[in-house]
Amino acid sequence: MKQPDPRTLEDIPPVVTFATGADLLVRLGLAKNMTREGVRRLSKHPDWPFGLDRPHPYWPLANAEVMETEPFLDFFRKHPIVGRGPDKKPGRRRSRASSKQQ
């Protein structure tokens, strides 16, 4: 397996995808955990800076859309991630008696 270049694990890249942006948020401590789907959900926020009629465009690059890193990080600094986060415990099982009553 090819080893990643250590600079890509330490330096801040000039552009990010939804997936690499999620990883960067975690690495910089702006999120405890994040996935590309989480970033996509947050991109529905009215202040999201990327897209048509927004201050910054998405740039097509190698079959992906990339975003400039600084406006991406600025958004998350201004809009800290709050919420429940991932499940910590498995769901509670319902007893047969309570499920029959419903």
What rounded mean pLDDT belongs to the chain? Answer: 87
**What Å distances lie between residue 96 and 1, 90, 100, 101, CA to CA?**
49, 18, 6, 9
pLDDT of residue 68: 97
pTM: 0.76
Which residue would you say has higher pLDDT here, 102 or 23? 23
Q: Is 93 left (phi over 0), alpha (psi -120 to 50) or beta?
A: beta
**Separation CA 37–CA 94 (nearest Å):** 30
Q: What would the mean pLDDT of 23-48 be, rounded to a whole number? A: 95
Q: What pLDDT digit, counting tens, does each position of 57-101 carry?
A: 999 999 999 999 999 999 999 999 876 655 666 666 666 655 555
Report residue 92 as tokens. 């509670």
The answer to whether the beta carbons of residues 38 and 45 sit under 8 Å apart is: no
